[in-house]
Amino acid sequence: MTGALYPFAAAGGDTTREELVMSTAAKAAESVELRLRVLERLGPSLAACARAMATAFRAGGTLLAFGNGGSSTDAQSVAQLFLTPGRGGRRLPAISLTGDSALLTALANDVHFDVVFARQLTALGRRGDIALALSTSGGSANVLRGLEAARRAGLVTVGFAGSGGGRMAAERLADHLFVVPSSSVHRIQEAQATLCHVLWELVHQALAGAEAGGVQAGGEEASDGGLGAGGVGADGVGAGGA
C-alpha cells in the first residue's frame, strides 16, 4: 500500500524518510490551499444556503444526508455534526440515509442499487426538509436519483461535488451546489468536509440571528452570517465571487 501511495519508498535509500516527510508536507499544503481557495470563492453561496437551511429547520425540517463509499461515511459525519449542539445548545434534526445496512441492502437486492436513496427520500422526506448529497464525481446514479426524488417531494436540495460537478451540475439537480475544483478524490473529500463544517456554523449563526429578531421579509437573515463583501468573516470564509 505504501508503494502505491509513495512509489519512491519501495526503492529504499538514505533519503526515504526525508522524501516521505516532504511528500506528506506537500499534500498537507495542497489540501490547505485548496480549502482556503474554495471557502473564499464559495463564501456567499454558503451563506445563502445556510439561510435557506435555517429557514427549513425553523419550520421543523430535517436534514437527510447521503452518498456512496467515502461520501457515505461523510454523510454520516454530517448528520452527526448537525445533531451536535451548536450555539445555545441547539441540536438540529438530521438523518444519514447510509446508516441502516438492512434497509440499504434490501433496496439494493430487491429493487435496484440506483434507488437506495430515492426510495428513502420518498418515504422519509417531507416538503421543507433538506436533502444533502455528497459525491466526488457528481455522477453517481443513486445520488442523482435521490436528488431528483427530493426535488419532486419539495425538499431543499444541497449538493457537494468535485471536478466540474458532473451531472449534478449539468442537470442543475441541487438548489445549492458546491463544486470543489480538483480531480483528486482525497482533496475533494477534505474540502467537502471543511465546507460542511462551515455550513453547520453558518446555519447556527442564521438561527441565532433570527431569534435575535434580525429576520428580513421572506424569512432571510438581515446579516450575511459574518461573510462581508470582499472580506473574511469570523469563520475564515472570504466573500469573493462564486
What is the pLDDT at residue 35?
83
Q: pLDDT digit string (tens) for 170-226?
A: 999 999 999 999 999 999 999 999 999 999 999 999 999 877 765 444 444 444 444
- The DSSP code sequence of the chain is -HHHH-GGGGG--TTHHHHHHHHHHHHHHHHHHHHHHHHHHHHHHHHHHHHHHHHHHHTT--EEEEESTHHHHHHHHHHHHHHS--GGG----EEETTS-HHHHHHHHHHT-GGGTTHHHHHHH--TT-EEEEE-SSS--HHHHHHHHHHHHTT-EEEEEEETT-HHHHHTT--SEEEEE--S-HHHHHHHHHHHHHHHHHHHHHHHHHHHTT-B-TTS-BSS-TT--TTSB-TTS-B----
pLDDT digits (tens, 9 = 90+) for 134-163: 999 999 999 999 999 999 999 999 999 998
**Chain centroid to CA 170:** 18
Mean pLDDT of the chain: 85
pLDDT band at 128 (very low <50, low <70, confident <90, very high): very high
- Beta-carbon contacts of 224 under 8 Å, excluding residues fewer than 6 positions away, are 44, 47, 233, 239
Mean pLDDT of 86-96: 89
pLDDT computed for residue 15 by the predictor: 57
> Per-residue confidence at 68, pLDDT binned at 50, 70, 90?
very high
pLDDT in tens, 34-66: 888 888 999 999 999 999 999 999 999 999 999
pLDDT at position 67, please?
Answer: 98
C-alpha cell at 186: 482525497
pTM of the model: 0.80
Lowest model confidence (mean pLDDT) among 115-119, 204-208, 234-238? 234-238
Q: What was the pLDDT predicted at 12? A: 53
- pLDDT tens digits, one per residue of 92-104: 999 999 999 999 9
- In the prediction, which pLDDT does 222 show? 40
> pLDDT over 90 for what percent of the chain?
66
> Which domains are seen in the chain, by residue range?
46-210 (3.40.50.10490)
Q: Where residue 238 falls among pLDDT bands split at 50, 70, 90?
A: very low
Higher pLDDT, 127 or 26: 127
Reference 161, options 128, 201, 134, 186; nearest CA is: 134
